[in-house]
């Protein structure tokens, strides 16, 4: 994908942005071209690329095709697979960040408690 022309990459990113949670993209070729800000012929070339088998694809399913034609638009193949992976990675990151925040809160509380104990000890010595 990243070795393709700029317009092809832009159409791909536009399709990813337009896709619903299942990977369906509802648009006409002309509408997609306008949204991607590319010419209609560039959009058609990109769609042909996405619909064609890709012998260099890392995923053997669907012969490496990226999309399939549907009524009213296209379906991004493997969309849910990669979205699920992304969601899992996002959850892991959120757990890490949450753990770090909790750890910081605990460390801050412990530090405050120690400071209060030191102050009490100093007051007793006076």
The per-residue pLDDT for range 44-72, each reduced to its tens digit, is: 999 999 999 987 777 777 778 999 999 99
The domain over range 6-77 is classified in CATH as 1.10.10.10 = yes
Q: Which of 74, 82, 11 is nearest to 42 (CA)?
A: 11
Q: For residue 62, what is the DSSP state?
A: G
Q: How confident is the model at residue 100 (pLDDT cuts 50, 70, 90)?
A: low
> Is the model more confident about 118 or about 93?
118
Top pLDDT among 39 and 81 is at 39
> For 74, how many CA atoms within 13 A lie in the half-sphere containing its CB?
26
What does the domain layout of the chain look like in residue ranges?
A: 6-77
């Amino acid at each position: 994908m990243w070795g393709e022309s700029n317009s092809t990459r832009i159409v791909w990113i536009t399709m990813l942005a337009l896709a619903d949670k299942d990977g369906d993209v509802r648009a006409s070729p002309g509408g997609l071209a306008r949204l991607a800000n590319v010419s209609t012929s560039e959009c058609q070339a990109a769609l042909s690329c996405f619909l064609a088998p890709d012998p260099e694809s890392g995923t053997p399913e669907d012969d490496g095709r990226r999309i399939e034609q549907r009524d009213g638009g296209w379906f991004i193949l493997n969309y849910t697979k990669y979205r699920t992976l992304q969601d899992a990675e996002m959850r892991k990151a959120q757990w890490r960040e949450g753990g770090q925040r909790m750890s910081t809160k605990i460390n801050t509380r412990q530090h405050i408690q120690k400071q209060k104990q030191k102050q009490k000890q100093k007051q007793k010595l006076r």
